[in-house]
Amino acid sequence: MLLRDSTDASVKDMMSLKAYQTWINKSRKNDKITYYRGYLVEPSIQPIAPTQDIKRVEKLQRAVYDTYLTNLVTLVQKRHGRFDYEYMAIRK
């Protein structure tokens, strides 16, 4: 679901909040989506698409975590390298 053809790298590896909410509303059990690729703890130091738009990252992070707290998704991550993680949500 991540955009791969965008010229703006910060957009390329981060799902929009609206796209995530649409996915939540339309997804079914065991559907999986990658909502972020990079380093959520400090997005400005990640090797892929470093961003200074911390507020946008935090809004997405909060929205995803809220769906976890309401038991809609399971959150998983896969490490690809130093400061390079793939963050995924799996629909319950």
pLDDT tens for each residue of the chain, 92 residues long: 443 333 333 345 688 999 999 999 999 999 999 999 989 988 888 877 778 888 899 999 999 999 999 999 999 999 999 999 999 999 99
Q: How far apart are CA 45 and CA 66, in angstroms?
A: 25
User: What pLDDT was estimated at residue 9?
Assistant: 38
User: What pLDDT was estimated at residue 13?
Assistant: 65
User: What pLDDT was estimated at residue 49?
Assistant: 73
User: What pLDDT was estimated at residue 11?
Assistant: 40
Is residue 87 within 8 A of residue 75, CB to CB? The reply is yes
Residue 24: partners with Cβ closer than 8 Å, 6 or more residues away: 67, 72, 73, 91
Q: Could you identify the residue written with the tokens 């997005």?
A: 43
What's the whole-model pTM score? Answer: 0.82
